[in-house]
Amino acid sequence: MSALTQFIGGERIASLVGTPVAAGPLQNICLYAGANSALSGAMTAATLKTALSITGRGRLNWTAVYTNDVTARTLRMKITVDGSVIRDYTSASISTVDTGFVGVGGGYYNGTTGPRAFYQPIRFSESLLIEIASSVTETDKATFAYNYEVFV
């Protein structure tokens, strides 16, 4: 019997290098990514809040966070895979509705061809934790979107 490491190498991701894709309108891009989405709920300024927590094995394909109104704010996403922070990113100030960034994967919107989403599969062996934050205290003024798979 073979081991899974035979096929995926057994290495763990240490970090994602590069700047996440800033995009809008993200609500349309989320549909093309096959993403689930959820309102942020109550958030305290500059305080991380758990958006997604999974114990076990799986693969994160795509994730994003975006605004629901025109209040100026920054958004932050921190992604921890198997206990290691692989991305901790804070956007520039955003004051346009439905705008934010794609933390894993990619996407864009073109008026002619429509939205596009690109997967960037990130495997996890033990756990996945994604936290988000806003620079202002607010409730349901951001949306978190995600697409992941769990393995048995």
* pLDDT tens-digit series, residues 117-142: 888 999 999 999 999 999 999 999 99
In a domain, 2, yes or no: no
Could you list the residue range(s) of the whole structural domain that residue 86 is in? 20-151
Is residue 38 a part of any domain in this protein? yes
**125 neighbors 10 (Cβ within 8 angstroms):** no
The type of residue at 60 is: L
Query: Would 43 be classed as within a structural domain?
Result: yes
Residue 4 domain-assigned (yes or no): no
Tokens of 134: 């806003």
Residue 96 lies in a domain: yes
User: What CATH code is carried by the domain that includes residue 118?
Assistant: 2.60.120
pLDDT higher than threshold 90 for residue 71: yes
Q: How many domains does the chain have?
A: 1
Residue 7 counted as domain residue: no
**pLDDT tens for residues 75-130?**
999 999 999 999 999 999 999 999 999 999 988 777 777 778 888 999 999 999 99
Helix (H) or strand (E) holding 85: strand 84-90
pTM as predicted: 0.89
CB 44 within 8 A of CB 52: no
121/61 Cα distance (integer angstroms): 4
Is position 12 within any domain? no
3 domain-assigned: no
Nearest one of 96, 128, 101 to 26, comparing CA atoms: 101
Amino acid at 10: G
* CA–CA separation, 62 and 137 (whole Å): 26
